[in-house]
Amino acid sequence: DGGITQSPKYLFRKEGQNVTLSCEQNLNHDAMYWYRQDPGQGLRLIYYSQIVNDFQKGDIAEGYSVSREKKESFPLTVTSAQKNPTAFYLCASSIDVPGQGGSTEAFFGQGTRLTVV
């Protein structure tokens, strides 16, 4: 089955800890994204990557870091510098970046709910 897999589904973090959220896709998509959803809010872009070994900050990148060492994988690390990390995190991928000559939809994973305890 082709798709995007996020793990874990639920994650608890203590104050001051870094945690890493996993995102894997087998759709052979070049572009991958991390969004954050808070109650009553839309999806806000944290980071995106157009190709392997390249990534760019989105609208709310502070306190987060990513890597893109493989096409299939785009892990997100929530660092202790992120002041309000409790949220629902969504990873997505698309064939190419919207607007870059292709108007393609993004496919989303099932999300990871991160809670700071």
Token code pair at residue 106: 């993004």
Residues 27, 45, 52, 95: which binds other proteins (CB under 8 A)?
45
Q: Tell me if the bond preceding 98 is cis, omega within 30° of 0.
A: no
- Six-digit token pair at 49? 């990557």
Q: Does 85 participate in binding other proteins (rule CB under 8 A)?
A: no
Candidates 4, 66, 76, 78: give the one binding other proteins (CB under 8 A): 4
Cα separation values, 61 from 20, 75, 101, Å? 15, 14, 25
Interface residues toward other proteins, by CB under 8 A: 4, 6, 33, 35, 40-45, 48, 50, 56, 58, 88, 90, 92, 97-100, 103, 105-111, 113
